[in-house]
Amino acid sequence: MSRRALAGPPQNTNRFAMHDVLSRTKPISADTRIRITARDVNVFYGATQAIRTISMDIPDCAVTAFIGPSGCGKSTFLRCFNRMNDTIEGARVEGRIEIDGEDIYTPDLDVVELRARIGMVFQKPNPFPKSIFDNVAYGPRIHGLVRTRGETEEVVERSLQRAGLWKEVKDRLHEPGTGLSGGQQQRLCIARAIAVGPEVILMDEPCSALDPIATAVIEELIDELRTNYTIVLVTHSMQQAARVSQKTAFFHLGKLIEYGDTEQVFTRPAERQTEDYISGKIG
């Protein structure tokens, strides 16, 4: 474990401490491919509008962080990308969202296929009440990605290794996943998501239920996963956004206030509201 991990995320929201943290994230190069395009997206829950006309481009092989005060719509917007809002009664999404140029809200798109391409990690670790092995193997099995027992074992081992959990659980793969610690459970959920081989991973406050050390482990994992996946991360912690993301979007009251390179957003915010938020005046 690195020094950063041991130290844990700093708890204050002081902007000056942020410089130190930010020195670890590099802005991504300008020619990076755009993975997700959102245009004029509105989301309604019944009569209330949760998202107000948001457009943004999310780059490939990078971590994009959504920050903002509670109830600002960042989680709602995240859930548009794998159409999890469909499962909420009365939720309605307007506008256009494309992944690799393909509209994901066309009627002939199958959400099952979409969700196989876009993995999701939730706020609270939610392993299935099954064995660790079955937790990871479930996705590949239902999508028919593995045929033999050997293939399944290979995928499970690879996914657990990528999630940094293999060493801890390799001797107890057949024990229930719910018996792991909170941080291990969350890494199991990440392993479960990447076992399907998604292109994008959505993370909805993945560390909010974890202690600082477990958080640091997950953050390091996110940083490693960035090389292969497009990661969109919703977080309450600005330090976390600053530590692991390359792009940061600041939401407020359902609007996208500012979106840019993480370093720029935290050091030279263009908007007054962003500055107020990251300096702790609102939130």
Residue numbers at the binding site for other proteins (CB under 8 A): 82, 84, 87, 89, 112-116, 119-120, 122, 124, 126-130, 138-139, 142-143, 176, 178, 189, 192-193, 196
Residue labelled with tokens 């499970």: 156
- Rounded-to-integer distance, Cα 21 and Cα 172, Å: 37
Looking at beta carbons only, is 140 or 260 nearer to other proteins? Answer: 140
User: What is the token pair recorded at 238?
Assistant: 């600005």
In the complex, minimum distance from the CB of residue 87 to other proteins, in angstroms, rounded to a whole number? 6
Looking at beta carbons only, is 47 or 112 nearer to other proteins? Answer: 112
In the complex, minimum distance from the CB of residue 84 to other proteins, in angstroms, rounded to a whole number? 7
In the complex, minimum distance from the CB of residue 120 to other proteins, in angstroms, rounded to a whole number? 4
User: 3-state class of 99 per DSSP?
Assistant: strand
In the complex, minimum distance from the CB of residue 177 to other proteins, in angstroms, rounded to a whole number? 11
In the complex, minimum distance from the CB of residue 206 to other proteins, in angstroms, rounded to a whole number? 12
* Residue 102: exposure state from Cβ atoms within 10 A (0-12, 13-18, ≥19): exposed
Identify which of 81, 93, 108 has the alpha carbon closest to the alpha carbon of residue 201.
81
- Rounded-to-integer distance, Cα 244 and Cα 240, Å: 6
Looking at beta carbons only, is 52 or 117 nearer to other proteins? Answer: 117
Looking at beta carbons only, is 128 or 166 nearer to other proteins? Answer: 128
Identify which of 254, 251, 249 has the alpha carbon closest to the alpha carbon of residue 50.
254
Looking at beta carbons only, is 15 or 143 nearer to other proteins? Answer: 143
